[in-house]
Homo-oligomer: A and B are copies of this chain.
């Protein structure tokens, strides 16, 4: 093996150990850690983050990466490790350490102020902090923005390399032109779907049994993954042989069910990453959008498919015979697919979800590249909700204050959610030509499609971009038309042809 690469690998293992420790602490804080230890533990995590960054911007590492940039004598996986390490170093080095420290402190404060403001439904209290965050974000992006690029485009490419603003504008325009009328048609349909049986008193012990069963049903390898409980469901990966997902148990049965399926989608991606990439900076999903494509593919395209629901509904009936009394599989399928426009993104159904994202995309773009001021934000927010989603947020708590992202400086992140939906639909379209999709689901066979995804997508980690993966797997360029078609077919079936 290349001697310099060997040295790089050894160095990266040290850096990764600290990264893994940060992930484990974060997992632990959300799942088990006693609340009274939070302050000390925050210090520990803060110190580990600093040490992680210092290790990455060490001159020795830069030298090693430079010496390997030609790629001579390296495998494709090794080239990806070198490239991703270089990208991360460049990003870190672009920002002066002192500014970064100031910004980190601001983010910590901003998180608390945001939570407080949301609780008080008081945007004014939050506005100065948000302005501050935006000004830092613009400054930082400015350090890295290329000629002819806008600041927002730079931000987007941190999450979705290969996408420029033009592509995203076209993408979101297509969504707007198609999904806003589709939603209107659905809400005007005479079809009444009852999903009241999904809410009620569901014993958490039995919900846990169902969650454990689902994890197995979705072929998450029990030797390499665990399921735990946290307030907000999430996935973390310590490495590709230790992947962890969480769920929560509420009065809504499907909240836990679809949390498990969604997080399992993320988890299967992490579990599928090849060993050559594991514990390096290339050992993660290709992009935020591609990661979301996997979670949303499982949550919606698989998880809300009638064929998939057959065996799942049977299990649910076993565990909750009283609550499911008199409910048919058809009613259950309709219930989990009911379209209900509302103000809250994380509670959105499959059709309205991308419209929530569309709104955020348009607003972010105006805030960063355009002339929308923070003061005008709530009004703009509500206006767009009325226009695209046909709902009127009753206050800023369920409006512009609902998401944590902006308080943490995550501008450019939201578009990935919608891209993930579209990636998933395009993969699905292609998959259906190769596999008997519904037949496999009906038979409870998930492994064939997981294998399809593992060999063509998961294993490559960051070796390929989302755009090249789509191209290589489907034989054509990324095209959101498949997503729109998929939604049109689905709701036609559900709302005016059944």
Residues of chain A touching chain B, judged by Cβ–Cβ distance below 8 Å, are 13-14, 16-18, 20-21, 24-25, 28, 32-37, 39-41, 43-45, 47-48, 50-51, 221-226, 228, 238-243, 278-279
Q: Which of B34, B39, B221, B224 contacts A225 (CB 8 A)?
A: B34
Contact A242 B34 (CB under 8 A): yes
Q: In chain B, what residue has the closest Cβ to A242? A: B37
Nearest-CB residue, chain B, relative to A27: B28
Determine the residue in chain B with the shortest Cβ distance to A28. Answer: B24
Are B228 and A34 touching (Cβ within 8 A)?
no
Q: Which of B18, B37, B228, B279 contacts A239 (CB 8 A)?
A: B37
B41 touches A238 (CB 8 A): yes
User: Contact between A44 and B16 (Cβ–Cβ < 8 Å)?
Assistant: yes
Q: Is the CB of A239 within 8 A of B28?
A: no
Provide the bound-state CA to CA distance between A228 and B228, in Å.
13
A279: min CB distance to chain B, Å = 7
Give the residue of B28, B32, B241 whose beta carbon is less than 8 angstroms from that of A36: B241
Return the chain B residue nearest A13 by Cβ: B47
CB distance A226 to B32 under 8 Å? yes
* A32 near B228: Cβ-Cβ < 8 Å: yes
Q: Which of B36, B45, B238 contacts A221 (CB 8 A)?
A: B36
Question: Which chain B positions have C-beta within 8 A of A45?
Answer: 17
Least CB distance from A66 to B in Å reads 24
A47 with B222: CB separation less than 8 A: no
Cβ B228 vs Cβ A40 within 8 A: no
**Set of chain B residues within 8 Å of A241, measured between Cβ atoms:** 34, 36-37, 39-40
Residues on B with C-beta less than 8 A from A33 are 226, 238, 242
Known contacts A17-B47, A48-B21; decide if A35 and B239 are in contact (CB<8 Å).
no
- 21 A–B pairs (Cβ distance < 8 Å), ordered by A: A14-B51, A16-B44, A17-B48, A17-B51, A18-B18, A18-B48, A21-B44, A24-B24, A32-B228, A34-B224, A34-B225, A34-B241, A34-B242, A34-B243, A37-B239, A37-B241, A39-B241, A40-B240, A41-B239, A43-B279, A44-B238
Q: Given the complex, which residues of B lie within 8 Å of A28, measured CB to CB?
A: 24, 28
A47–B225 Cα gap in the complex (Å)?
Answer: 22
- CA–CA, A14 and B25, complex, Å: 15
- When the two chains form their complex, are residues B40 and A242 in contact, meaning their CB atoms are under 8 A apart? yes
Asked whether A239 lies within 8 Å of B40 as measured between CB atoms, the reply is: yes
Cβ-defined contact, B239 with A36, below 8 A: no
* Whole-angstrom CA separation of A39 from B278 in the bound complex: 13
Whole-angstrom distance between the alpha carbons of A47 and B36 in the complex? 29
Q: How far is the CB of A430 from chain B (nearest CB, A)?
A: 31
